[in-house]
Amino acid sequence: MNENLPGGLSDEQLLIAYSSRVVLTDREKSIVERLLRQDLDWDEVLTLSRRHLVTPLMYNALSASSLLEYVPQGIREKMHRNTTGNLARNMQKRAELLRVLSALEDKGVKTVVLKGNALVHTIYGDESLRVFGDIDLLVPRGRLEAAKTVMAEMGYSTIAGVYPVPDDQNEELGCEWTYVGPAGIIVEIHWDLLDRKSSFAIAPQELIDRSEAFDLDGREAYSLSTEDLLIHLCIHQFKHHWEQLRDLCDVNEIIRQGEVDWDVLLSRSALTGADRCVYYTLRLAGEFLETPVPDNVFRTFESRVRPGVVSRSVFDLVKRSVLAHEAPHGFWPVILVEGSGKKLSVIYETLLLQSRSAAAPEAGESGPPQRRSPMKVITESVRSVVGYRHLVYQLVSSLLRNLASSRNKRT
């Protein structure tokens, strides 16, 4: 269908990739229409779109392009319910966000709205389109106590025992307090974007100082500047191993709006130590969503990152997991990082993520989450690697192909 997209994608995956947009271009609409005329497995389309949190985005794009008639009625109704349900949840979170921002403002705490809560208003412009869970806020470190007081006065309580960092060391080693409110909405108060063991040089106060105002129901709120937002999203996706297409869609929509200052992005990426995160995320967005990144930007990143045979091989493996049913195995992206120190840091962050995930209660469970020891996490991770022998085979095969390609280029 399109030689620019990675090979091996099914028609169902191609449909999701091409229709996960706020607005389809004429060319994209033509491609989507041709795909819709194929004999598609619609249960697969619905399952994958839900897995990657893009069902509302797809439904809106198909509706706006008058293409819903090609979707079977039963699937169309499920997509509609998914979209309206997401809208209702986001409206509830917006009302709570306004309440929290107002209370923080009364205490003189400048607050920056992060991730989905900001993106749905600044980038998507429609509360039904972007799926997100928690409310994430960034406050100045010096105003953290005031923010904690506000949350307590509003009836919020901290979620204890979820993170491997002890509560009494959280403000020294961690980056956020997690609260749950009377209505069950979770709010994360960040004083940094990453914990202290992270290898990235993020200056949270500078992010706050550079934040940009946006309108939120008639009141002024703040989000990260465009370039800071892109870098933050790329680091976040790198940490989570690009497990959901929704996050690449965020990058795609930001860039398609045409407001990125690429010189500023390149400069801040280098200062943050995020070149690899940004480079590989932009590569994935370009390959799966045709995100329009200027060639000179890629050339600059490549001159800094200098991806070798191993990195190229692992990247090929990562691409196989995009638009799949399961997330990529956590430790493969470690090889994309240069230097032993950063490799160890990403391993730590991966273990931290797995510990948090394992500590969280399953749906329907009650009681405090159980935290696994770091040694148990490591043991289970090693067992998982052994269990994924087919990935080792794929990695070796990819290495051999890239080595052969490199030799051919030299000759």
Query: Which residue(s) pair with 219 in the sheet?
Result: 216
Amino acid type, 408: N
Give the residue extent of every domain in the chain.
11-71, 83-224, 225-361+370-411
> Six-digit token pair at 120?
């749905």
Tokens 């070796």 -> residue: 396
Report the greatest alpha carbon distance in the chain: 70
Q: 362: burial class by Cβ within 10 Å (0-12, 13-18, 19+)?
A: exposed
Contact between 162 and 178 (Cβ < 8 Å): yes
Query: Which residue(s) pair with 176 in the sheet?
Result: 190
| Helix or strand run (H / E) with residue 135 | strand 135-138
Span 83-224 CATH architecture: 2-Layer Sandwich (3.30)
402, pLDDT greater than 80: no
Looking at residue 359, its pLDDT comes to: 47
Q: Give the pairing of strands 135-138 and 186-190.
A: parallel
Q: Per-residue pLDDT tens for 258-302?
A: 889 999 999 999 999 999 999 999 999 999 999 999 999 999 999
Segments of 3-134 assigned E as strands: 112-113
Q: Is the pTM of this model over 0.75?
A: yes
- Cα–Cα distance between 151 and 133 in angstroms, integer? 18
Looking at residue 353, its pLDDT comes to: 55
Query: Which residue(s) pair with 112 in the sheet?
Result: 138, 222
- Please provide residue 205's backbone torsions phi and psi, each rounded to the nearest 5 degrees: -65, -35
In terms of pLDDT, which residue wins out, 161 or 51?
51
- Cα–Cα distance between 358 and 170 in angstroms, integer? 19
Sequence-ordered list of residues with C-beta below 8 angstroms from that of 359, at least 6 positions apart, any chain: 161, 162, 163, 369, 370, 371, 372
Q: Average pLDDT for residues 337-345, to the nearest whole number?
A: 62
Looking at residue 324, its pLDDT comes to: 81
The span from the first CA to the last CA of the chain, in angstroms, equals 33
User: In whole angstroms, how far apart are CA 349 and each of 21, 188, 356?
Assistant: 31, 18, 10
Looking at residue 173, its pLDDT comes to: 73
